[in-house]
Amino acid sequence: MKSIRIREGKERSLLRRHPWVFEGSIAKGKADPGETVRVEGPDGRFLAWGAYSPSSSIRVRAWSFDEAERIDAAFFQRRVQQAVQLRGRLPIDSDGVRLVHGEADGLPGLVVDRYADVLSAQFLATGVERWKPVIADALLQATGLTRLYERSDVGVRGLEGLEPATGWLRGEGATEVTIREHGWRLTLDVAEGHKTGYYLDQRDNRRLFAQWVERLGAQRVLNCYSYTGGFSVAALAGGAQQVVSVDSSAPALARARAHVALNGFDESRAEFVDADVNQHLRGCLQRGERFDAIVLDPPKFAPTAAHAERAARAYKDINRLALMLLAPGGLLLTFSCSGGVSADLFHKIVAGAGTDAGVDGCLLARLEAACDHPTTLAYPEGEYLKGLAILKR
């Protein structure tokens, strides 16, 4: 077993059970990609078992802080089983569920979503890559399912020195799946969709949106960055007369359009616009359009804190435009999924947008990812999705 010695003073985060060891915190030791290492303090005392990643600035990801624990197949079976069992105890009204959420489930670099009877997984770090066959079997065993698709086609794998990898890991067949979310039917393709196929993290916020649209009697709704129209279906379910979905992905919009009919709504109530959201919002303003409810759910503008300033300008701009387009008494649901923008900073950005728009608003709620995307006390960096529900005065 190889050892990684931590520099003096750099062991504190591991003692708090934070699972990452950065390159600069290591005094000596190296290992092969994904190899299990013993991480030890400057005095040689045990701190953690972890997976080594020679090319990543996150050089070790901790598996366990228990010296007696062995990192073997049984370890992965236990962790996967715990993650799956936890979801069974959560209030989730869908058969689309995040079963494994990386570090928060003690499996750094692993993301697994269940869509009806298909599992879709991302292996994002050398540790889970090395244990992939064991993890794949453990997932089937814990869920009783037979089909697991891999979507490890994500840029961050490059930082780990890993090539993209996609395809069936276990089982085979059609990659299109229909899930049932809050009684709505939504389709996705695990091979073609974004990430693992769909954005499960917004599940609770989609239901809230349907409820608010209904309560407010919102008639005209604008769903920006709609992807396959989850919030659009929510708005129709809430009774909106007209929903405009805007996205720059034609395949996503085609699926959004299909979702209207699939859920039994009249197609005349839905409009789909293939456009850049910022430009579309400006066009709406010029045409004097007004909406009773608007959703802004953009992609990650700031992957890390280094991009925060440019991202802040982009967030502020779309939020300013949306606040101007809202009718008085209208609802804005606005999100950021940028890890580099904190909830606090996002609030300030949107407040600034309100000032620039000359609009005040009542903050109805602070929103976050659904509970199957947990954060843990030891790993607050896991928090990424934040949102605000604002009622325009």
Between CA 37 and CA 58 the distance in angstroms is: 14
Go through the chain and tell me how many residues it has.
393
Active site residue 362: no
Between CA 143 and CA 320 the distance in angstroms is: 45
Contact mark string toward ligand SAH, 163..182, x via CB under 6 A: --------------------
Nearest to 223 by CA among 290, 297, 283: 297
Beta-strand relationship, 291-296 and 326-336: parallel
- For residue 291, the minimal CB distance to ligand SAH (Å) is 16
Q: Please identify which residue in 72, 93, 276, 309 interacts with ligand SAH, judged by CB under 6 A.
A: 276
- For residue 168, the minimal CB distance to ligand SAH (Å) is 24
224, 284, 337, 371: the active-site residue: 337
Contact mark string toward ligand SAH, 226..255, x via CB under 6 A: xxx-xx--------------xxxx--x---
H helix and E strand count, the chain: 11, 20
Between CA 41 and CA 243 the distance in angstroms is: 58
Between CA 363 and CA 207 the distance in angstroms is: 18
By CB under 6 A, residue 297 contacts ligand SAH = yes
Run of H or E residues at 152: strand 147-152
Signed CA dihedral, 155, 157, 160, 166: sign only: negative
- For residue 157, the minimal CB distance to ligand SAH (Å) is 20
Between CA 365 and CA 221 the distance in angstroms is: 19
Q: Please identify which residue in 158, 183, 283, 299 interacts with ligand SAH, judged by CB under 6 A.
A: 299
Part in contact with ligand SAH (CB under 6 A); list of ranges 110-118, 138-146, 223-231, 346-354: 223-231
By CB under 6 A, residue 346 contacts ligand SAH = no
In this structure, the number of other CB atoms found within 10 A of the CB of residue 161 comes to 13
Closer CB to ligand SAH, 129 or 247, in the complex: 247
Between CA 315 and CA 142 the distance in angstroms is: 41
Between CA 171 and CA 77 the distance in angstroms is: 19
Closer CB to ligand SAH, 40 or 368, in the complex: 368
Contact mark string toward ligand SAH, 202..221, x via CB under 6 A: x-------------------
Closer CB to ligand SAH, 219 or 248, in the complex: 248
Closer CB to ligand SAH, 126 or 196, in the complex: 196
- For residue 16, the minimal CB distance to ligand SAH (Å) is 33
By CB under 6 A, residue 277 contacts ligand SAH = yes
- For residue 19, the minimal CB distance to ligand SAH (Å) is 27
Part in contact with ligand SAH (CB under 6 A); list of ranges 3-11, 28-36, 130-138, 224-232: 224-232
Closer CB to ligand SAH, 199 or 379, in the complex: 199
Closer CB to ligand SAH, 250 or 363, in the complex: 250
Burial of 187 (0-12, 13-18, 19+ CB in 10 A): middle
Residue 215: partners with Cβ closer than 8 Å, 6 or more residues away: none
Between CA 279 and CA 55 the distance in angstroms is: 40
Query: 3-state SS string over 56-99?
Result: CCEEEEEEECCCCCCCCHHHHHHHHHHHHHHHHCCCCCECEEEE
- For residue 276, the minimal CB distance to ligand SAH (Å) is 4
- With beta carbons less than 8 A apart as the criterion, state whether 186 and 198 touch: yes
Interface positions with ligand SAH (CB under 6 A): 199, 202, 225-228, 230-231, 246-249, 252, 276-277, 297, 299
Residues marked as catalytic: 337
